[in-house]
Amino acid sequence: MFNYSAKAVYRLDVATRTLLAVFGGYWGCAAVTLIVTRILPSDPKTAALTANMLFFILYTCVFIWVFSVRKPLYAWLGVGIPSAVFGLALLMWGGA
Protein backbone atom coordinates (compact mmCIF):
# COMPACT_ATOMS: atom_id res chain seq x y z
CA MET A 1 0.00 0.00 0.00
CA PHE A 2 2.69 2.38 1.09
CA ASN A 3 4.73 1.47 -1.94
CA TYR A 4 1.85 2.12 -4.25
CA SER A 5 1.21 5.58 -2.90
CA ALA A 6 4.91 6.46 -2.99
CA LYS A 7 4.89 5.50 -6.63
CA ALA A 8 1.77 7.55 -7.26
CA VAL A 9 3.37 10.57 -5.61
CA TYR A 10 6.48 10.11 -7.72
CA ARG A 11 4.41 9.92 -10.90
CA LEU A 12 2.40 12.97 -9.97
CA ASP A 13 5.65 14.81 -9.23
CA VAL A 14 7.10 13.92 -12.65
CA ALA A 15 3.86 14.76 -14.45
CA THR A 16 3.46 18.17 -12.82
CA ARG A 17 7.12 19.07 -13.28
CA THR A 18 6.86 18.13 -16.94
CA LEU A 19 3.77 20.29 -17.44
CA LEU A 20 5.44 23.11 -15.51
CA ALA A 21 8.62 22.98 -17.63
CA VAL A 22 6.89 22.56 -21.00
CA PHE A 23 4.08 25.09 -20.66
CA GLY A 24 5.11 27.28 -17.74
CA GLY A 25 8.62 27.46 -19.11
CA TYR A 26 7.38 28.35 -22.57
CA TRP A 27 5.14 31.09 -21.22
CA GLY A 28 7.80 32.49 -18.91
CA CYS A 29 10.53 32.45 -21.54
CA ALA A 30 8.11 34.09 -23.98
CA ALA A 31 7.55 36.94 -21.50
CA VAL A 32 11.31 37.35 -20.98
CA THR A 33 11.92 37.27 -24.73
CA LEU A 34 9.32 39.95 -25.42
CA ILE A 35 10.77 42.18 -22.69
CA VAL A 36 14.32 41.70 -24.00
CA THR A 37 13.09 42.55 -27.51
CA ARG A 38 11.81 45.88 -26.20
CA ILE A 39 14.77 46.70 -23.98
CA LEU A 40 17.56 46.10 -26.49
CA PRO A 41 18.69 49.37 -28.09
CA SER A 42 19.24 47.90 -31.56
CA ASP A 43 16.70 48.07 -34.40
CA PRO A 44 13.52 46.04 -33.81
CA LYS A 45 14.42 43.20 -36.17
CA THR A 46 17.85 42.65 -34.61
CA ALA A 47 16.40 42.94 -31.11
CA ALA A 48 13.73 40.33 -31.86
CA LEU A 49 16.36 38.04 -33.38
CA THR A 50 18.69 38.36 -30.37
CA ALA A 51 15.84 37.69 -27.96
CA ASN A 52 14.69 34.66 -29.95
CA MET A 53 18.21 33.24 -29.94
CA LEU A 54 18.24 33.60 -26.15
CA PHE A 55 14.85 31.91 -25.84
CA PHE A 56 16.08 28.41 -26.63
CA ILE A 57 18.98 28.63 -24.19
CA LEU A 58 16.73 29.97 -21.45
CA TYR A 59 14.11 27.31 -22.10
CA THR A 60 16.76 24.61 -21.74
CA CYS A 61 17.83 26.15 -18.40
CA VAL A 62 14.22 26.00 -17.22
CA PHE A 63 14.15 22.25 -17.83
CA ILE A 64 17.41 21.76 -15.96
CA TRP A 65 16.11 23.84 -13.04
CA VAL A 66 12.70 22.21 -12.85
CA PHE A 67 14.05 18.67 -12.85
CA SER A 68 17.10 19.22 -10.66
CA VAL A 69 15.69 21.01 -7.60
CA ARG A 70 14.68 18.68 -4.84
CA LYS A 71 11.36 20.13 -3.76
CA PRO A 72 8.54 20.68 -6.24
CA LEU A 73 7.87 24.00 -4.52
CA TYR A 74 11.28 25.34 -5.56
CA ALA A 75 10.57 24.28 -9.12
CA TRP A 76 7.28 26.18 -9.10
CA LEU A 77 8.78 29.27 -7.48
CA GLY A 78 11.79 29.24 -9.79
CA VAL A 79 9.56 29.34 -12.85
CA GLY A 80 6.63 31.20 -11.32
CA ILE A 81 8.33 34.27 -9.87
CA PRO A 82 10.28 35.31 -13.00
CA SER A 83 7.26 34.54 -15.18
CA ALA A 84 5.02 36.68 -12.98
CA VAL A 85 7.53 39.55 -12.84
CA PHE A 86 8.20 39.61 -16.56
CA GLY A 87 4.54 38.96 -17.40
CA LEU A 88 3.47 41.86 -15.23
CA ALA A 89 6.15 44.10 -16.70
CA LEU A 90 4.85 43.20 -20.13
CA LEU A 91 1.28 44.05 -19.16
CA MET A 92 2.34 47.40 -17.75
CA TRP A 93 4.30 48.05 -20.92
CA GLY A 94 1.10 47.87 -22.87
CA GLY A 95 0.36 44.25 -23.62
CA ALA A 96 2.15 41.68 -25.71
Partner 1 sequence: MKEKFRQSMSWLHTWSGLILGWLIFVIFFTGTLSYFRHEITHWMQPETHESVVRDAAALDRAVDFLVKNAPDDAAGWLIALPDERMKTIEASWRKVRIDPKYGIRPEITQNFLDASTGENTNARKTHGGEFLYRFHIELYGMDKTLGRWIIGIATMAMFIAIITGIILHKRIFKDFFTFRGKKGVRSWMDAHIFTAVLALPYHVMITYSGLLLLMMILLPWNTEEFMREYNEMRAKMLEQPAEVISPDFEQYPPVSIVPLIADAEKRLGEKIGKIYISNPGQRNMLATFVPVRSDKITYTDRSRNADANVNYSLRNGRFYGEMRTEPISKAYSVFNALSTLHVARFADTFMRWLFFISGVMGTVMTATGLIIWVQKKAKAANKPFGRKLVEVLNIGGITGLAIATAAYFWANRLVPAYSADRMSWEVGVFFTVWVLTFIHPVIRDRKQAWIDQLWVCAGMFALIPVINAFTSPMNLFNAFSAGNMVVAGFDLTALVTGVLLAVTAVFVSGKKEVK
**Which SS3 state, helix, strand or coil, does residue 71 take?**
coil
Q: How far is the CB of 1 from partner 1 (least distance, A)?
A: 20
93 sits near partner 1 (criterion: CB under 8 A): no
* Residue of 20, 24, 59, 83 that binds partner 1 (CB under 8 A): 59
* Residue of 10, 23, 67, 74 that binds partner 1 (CB under 8 A): 67
Cβ(58)–Cβ(82) below 8 Å:
no
Which of 90, 92, 71, 95 shows the shortest CA–CA distance to 29? 90
Which of 65, 69, 76, 67 shows the shortest CA–CA distance to 24? 76
* Residue of 16, 55, 82, 85 that binds partner 1 (CB under 8 A): 55
Closer CB to partner 1, residue 9 or residue 68?
A: 68
